[in-house]
Amino acid sequence: MKITKVTEDAVATLLDDLLKRSPNNYTGYADKVQAIIDDVRERGDEALFEMTKRFDGADLNADNIRVTQAEIDEAYTLVDASLIEVIRKAMTNIRVYHEKQRQYGWFDTTPDGTILGQKVTPLQSTGVYVPGGKAAYPSSVLMNVIPAKVAGVEKIVMVTPPGKDGKVNPGTLVAANEAGADEIYKVGGAQAIAALAFGTASVPKVDKIVGPGNIYVALAKKAVYGYVSIDSIAGPSEILVIADETANPRYVAADLLSQAEHDELASAILVTTSEKLAGKVQKEIEDFTQVLSRKAIIEKSLENYGHILIASSIDEAVEIANAIASEHLEIVTTNPFEVMTKIRNAGAIFIGENSSEPLGDYFAGPNHILPTNGTAKFFSPLSVDDFVKKSSIIYYSREALAAKKDDIIQFAKAESLTAHANSIAVRFEDK
Amino acid sequence: MKITKVTEDAVATLLDDLLKRSPNNYTGYADKVQAIIDDVRERGDEALFEMTKRFDGADLNADNIRVTQAEIDEAYTLVDASLIEVIRKAMTNIRVYHEKQRQYGWFDTTPDGTILGQKVTPLQSTGVYVPGGKAAYPSSVLMNVIPAKVAGVEKIVMVTPPGKDGKVNPGTLVAANEAGADEIYKVGGAQAIAALAFGTASVPKVDKIVGPGNIYVALAKKAVYGYVSIDSIAGPSEILVIADETANPRYVAADLLSQAEHDELASAILVTTSEKLAGKVQKEIEDFTQVLSRKAIIEKSLENYGHILIASSIDEAVEIANAIASEHLEIVTTNPFEVMTKIRNAGAIFIGENSSEPLGDYFAGPNHILPTNGTAKFFSPLSVDDFVKKSSIIYYSREALAAKKDDIIQFAKAESLTAHANSIAVRFEDK
C-alpha cells in the first residue's frame, strides 16, 4: 500500500478515482438494463423464466419460482445449528437498535380551531434484493428485512437468484425466515427488479425495493425509481481509518483488510498523523495478506484503491474524511469522541480501538447497508425511516379560516391562480 | 365532468390513465436530457450560456449569471408591499410547522461499555429549482427553502430560468431573499440540474437538488440521482375529495377546480356516497368554470382527468383514495377524523369543509411540495428530513467485544469473509 503525504492534488486525484467506481458511471450497461426491464414489463413471467434460464441456468416456472415451506425446512437441516443461534442473537441486537428509530405521528392545535400534524404510515409492501451465488450473505438479509418489519410493513417480498439446480442458498433462506420475509422468489438481476417494480403473474409489485446487488441490479433500481421507491444505488464497500500514534498498527491493518477483501473495487484508506504508524500498518498489511483466503482480491483492491495518507494534524485528517464521505469510518485516536463531533460525512462511525468494523457488519445492531461512494454526504444508513412515509394533516375551523382568508386570496391572485382564490372566497360569499 | 358508479374496472382504467402521466413514461425525452447533462458536465459554463441563449433567449455570461444584491433590491420595488407582508406571515407559519419536524441524534449505552447511536447532520449544500416564465410561484420558493434553512443547510443555491431580458421574476427573488436562499443563478431546464449536480465555473455543485419543474427538469433529476440526492420526481398536481351528503357542493366544486387549473395533466376526482351531491357538484363546476381565468386549462384537465365516482360506502371511497394515493386529499364527511385514520396513502390530508386545499398551498404551514402520481404510497411531503442525513455511531469496550467475539467470528467465517473474522481475532491473540 502506498504511503503519501497529504497534498491538495493527492486528495483530489484519490477522490476522483474513488468516484469513478460509481454504478452511475457504467453507462454502457444502461441500455441493456432498460431492455431487460421493458421485456419483463411487457411479457411478465415468460420473460422472467427465459432470463433465469439464460443468466442463472435454472429451469423455473410458475409452480416453482416461489420458495416453498418445504424448501425452507430443508434449509434448516443444511445450516449449522450453532450458526442459527448466532443469527438469532444478532437479530435481537439489530431489532433493539432499529426499534429506537421508530418515528411517531404528531399534531398540534391552536385554540381558534386549527390542527396541524404529520401522520406516519408504514409502506404496505417492500421488495428485498439479496445477491446469490458465491456471495450469499445471511447478514444482509437480516439488515434489509428487520427494519421493514420494525416499521410495520405488511408484505416483505424477497428475491434472490437461484443456482443451476433451481435452489437458493440455505443460509439466505434461514435468515429470511428468521427475520420474517413473507414471500421469497427465485429470481435475480435486473429482471428481478423489474418484476418487483411492475409485477408479473408470479411476482407481486411492491412499493419500494431495497438491498445491494451487482451493476445490473444497481442500474435497474435507478431505472425503476419513481415507479417505486428505492433505498439507494449501492457501490463498492469502503473503509477510512483516522489514527494517531496511539493506534495499534495490527488492529488498523486487520480492519483495513476486512473491507479490501469484499471485492476488487473496494477501498481501504488510512489517514494518520504518525509516519511511524503508517510504516507499521504497511508492514502488517503485507504480512496478513499472505495468509488470508481472499488474497487475490485484497491485493487488487489495495493496489487500486488502498491508500495510506500522512496528515499534518487530526483536523486535516477529519477534513479528508469529510471530503471522501466513507461508508465506514474508524476513529482510533487519543480522544476519538471529540474527533467524532467534527465528522460530517460517514455512513457508520466506529469509535476507539475495540470497535472494529466487522462488529457493525454482523452484530452490534446498527444497519450495515450504508451509503457508499461519497453518497454519505446526502444519504443515510438503511433504517426504519426507509419503510415509512408521511402525510400532512390540516384542519381549520371556520373561525381560523376567516382570520386568514384575505391573505390567502391575495397570495393566490399574485400567482394568477384564480380558482385557488375562489376556493377560499366561496366559503365567505353572501348567501 | 363524468359521473360514474364505482366498479373494479372503472377504477382500474382510471388508475391506469393517471399513472400514464408520470414523467417516467416520457422516455422519448430521456436521450435529449442525457445529452444536455453530458454537455454541461463536459463544457461547463460554456454549455450553460449557449443553452440559456437557445432555450430562454437570454444573453448570459460569468459576470451576470448570478443574481446581484442590486437585482434583489430592485425586485422589492416591483412587488406589492402588502404581498411582501403576506409572504412574511406565510413564512412564519411554514417555519413553525417545519421546526416540529426536526430530528435529534440519540445514543444508548450498556454498562459493559457499549455506545450505540445515530448522529443527525444537515446537508452542507442544496440546490433549489424554481420554474420561471409564466408560472412564477413565490410560494414554492418558500416551501423549498424554509425546510432546508430549518434543517441547518449552510448553502442554499437557487436556480431559475431568466426571461429574454436576462431578468428573474421579482416575486421569486423577493421570496428567495426572505426565505434565505444564499445564491441565485439565472439558469433553468435540464442544464440547471446538470450544473447543480456536477458544478461549473459559475454554478456550485450541491449535495441535493429539490423543487418541481417541467418534464426536462424531472428527467434530469432522475438522471443525476446517485451523483447527488433528489427530493422526488414531480408529476402533475392532483386532488381527490371524499364527500358524503353533508358536504357543500359549491365548496367541493371550487376545491376540485383549484387543482384542475394547474395544468392540462392535473387531475381532480370526487368520490362520494351521494348521487345528489354528485349532480350538484357537476353543475357547480360548469358554472364556476365559465368565470374562471384559466378556463381553457380547466376544461382540458377535467375532460381527461376529472372524475366523479359514486361509491357505495365511505369505506369503498377510502379504498379508492388509498389506491389512487392522491397528492391532496380532502375529507368532507360527517366524521372526517375517523375517516382520516383509514387513509394510508395521500400527500396531504385536508379535514372538514373549511380546510380548503389552497389553504395548504400558501399559508397553513405544511409543505405544498407533495408526492404525486401514486407515489404517496412510498414518498413523503418535502420536509426537514430531506435536508439532513444520519450516521450510525458504534463504540464497544474491550470487555463488550470479548463477550461477543466468538459469535462475530463464526458469522464472518460462515460468509467466507476471513479478513472480517481476523479483524476481531487479532484483538484477542496471544502476544
Q: Burial, A148: exposed, middle or buried (Cβ in 10 Å; 0-12, 13-18, 19+)?
A: buried
Confidence of residue B316 (pLDDT cuts 50, 70, 90): very high
Contacts of A41 in chain B (CB under 8 A): none
Q: Is residue A336 part of a domain?
A: yes
What is the span of the domain harbouring residue B294?
2-22+235-365
Closest CA to B242 of B313, B298, B344: B313
Residue B317 and residue B412 share a domain: no
Residue A219 and residue A295 share a domain: no
Q: A338: which 3 cell numbers?
A: 471529540
Contacts of A404 (CB under 8 A, 6+ apart): A396, B359, B363
Q: In 10 A of CB A53, how many CB atoms?
A: 12
Cα Rg of chain B (Å, integer): 25
Interface of B with A in 316-355 (CB under 8 A): 337, 340, 343-355
Tell me how far apart the alpha carbons of residues A419 and B7 are, in angstroms, rounded to a whole number: 31
User: Which residue in B has a C-alpha nearest to residue A24's C-alpha?
Assistant: B226
Residue A181 and residue A282 share a domain: no
* Last residue within a domain, chosen from B195, B230, B265: B230
Residue A344 and residue A256 share a domain: yes
What number is the average pLDDT over the span A239-250?
A: 98
What number is the average pLDDT over the span B99-120?
A: 96
Selected for mutation to probe chain B from A420, A427, A428 (highest B CB count within 10 Å) is: A420
Residue A184 and residue A35 share a domain: yes
SS3 assignment for A107-125: EEEECCCEEEEEEEEECCE
Residue A58 and residue A7 share a domain: no
Residue pair B40/B198 in contact (Cβ under 8 Å)? The answer is yes
Here the CATH number for the domain that contains residue B45 is 3.40.50.1980
Mean confidence (pLDDT) of chain A: 95
Tell me how far apart the alpha carbons of residues B260 and B280 are, in angstroms, rounded to a whole number: 18
Q: Over the stretch B365-403, which tens digit does the pLDDT of each residue have?
A: 999 999 999 999 999 999 999 999 999 999 999 999 999
Interface of A with B in 255-314 (CB under 8 A): 255, 257-258, 260-262, 288, 292-294, 298
* Last residue within a domain, chosen from A365, A389, A420: A365
Phi, psi of A403 (to 5 degrees): -70, -25
Q: Is residue B390 part of a domain?
A: no
Whether residues B427 and A383 touch (CB distance < 8 A) is answered with: no
Mean confidence (pLDDT) of chain B: 95
- Of residues B235 and A96, more confidence is placed in A96
B116 reaches A (C-beta below 8 A): yes
Q: Is residue A215 part of a domain?
A: yes
Q: Is residue A373 part of a domain?
A: no
Q: How far is B219 from chain A (nearest CA, A)?
A: 10
Residue A108 and residue A45 share a domain: yes
Confidence of residue B1 (pLDDT cuts 50, 70, 90): confident
* Last residue within a domain, chosen from B230, B262, B291: B230
Selected for mutation to probe chain A from B239, B297, B396 (highest A CB count within 10 Å) is: B396
Whether residues A415 and B138 touch (CB distance < 8 A) is answered with: yes
Q: How far is B16 from chain A (nearest CA, A)?
A: 13
Residue A69 and residue A198 share a domain: yes
Please say if the pLDDT value at position B96 is more than 80: yes
A242 reaches B (C-beta below 8 A): no
Q: How far is B57 from chain A (nearest CA, A)?
A: 23
Task: Choose the closest CB to A359 out of B254, B255, B401.
Answer: B401
| pLDDT of A28 | 83
Residue B296 and residue B191 share a domain: no
Beta pairing, strands B267-272 & A106-110: unpaired
Residue A262 and residue A217 share a domain: no
Q: Is residue A419 part of a domain?
A: yes
Least reliable range by pLDDT among A182-191, B20-29, B33-42: B20-29
Q: Is residue A386 part of a domain?
A: no
Residue B196 and residue B152 share a domain: yes
Closest CA to A228 of B232, B369, B214: B232
Closest CA to A208 of A44, A82, A387: A387
Instruction: For the sheet with A229-230, list strands across it.
Output: A183-186, A155-160, A125-129, A208-210, A229-230
Tell me how far apart the alpha carbons of residues B340 and B342 are, in angstroms, rounded to a whole number: 5
Please say if the pLDDT value at position B39 is more than 90: yes
Contacts of A134 (CB under 8 A, 6+ apart): none
Contacts of B364 in chain A (CB under 8 A): 114, 116, 394, 396
| pLDDT of A135 | 64
Confidence of residue B28 (pLDDT cuts 50, 70, 90): confident
| pLDDT of B23 | 83
Contacts of B291 (CB under 8 A, 6+ apart): none
Whether residues B357 and A251 touch (CB distance < 8 A) is answered with: no
Q: How far is B313 from chain A (nearest CA, A)?
A: 23
Whole-number Cα distances in Å, B131 to A419, B139, B143, B286: 20, 12, 13, 30
Confidence of residue B134 (pLDDT cuts 50, 70, 90): low
Q: Over the stretch A77-92, which tens digit does the pLDDT of each residue have?
A: 999 999 999 999 999 9
Confidence of residue B199 (pLDDT cuts 50, 70, 90): very high
User: Which residue in A has a C-alpha nearest to residue B382's C-alpha?
Assistant: A390
Q: B297: which 3 cell numbers?
A: 386549462
Least reliable range by pLDDT among A112-116, B45-49, B426-430: B426-430
Residue B180 and residue B64 share a domain: yes
Residue pair B141/B158 in contact (Cβ under 8 Å)? The answer is yes
Residue pair A144/A128 in contact (Cβ under 8 Å)? The answer is yes
Number of structural domains (chain A) is 3
Q: Is residue B372 part of a domain?
A: no
Q: Is residue B389 part of a domain?
A: no
For residue B156, the one-letter residue type is: I
| pLDDT of A366 | 98
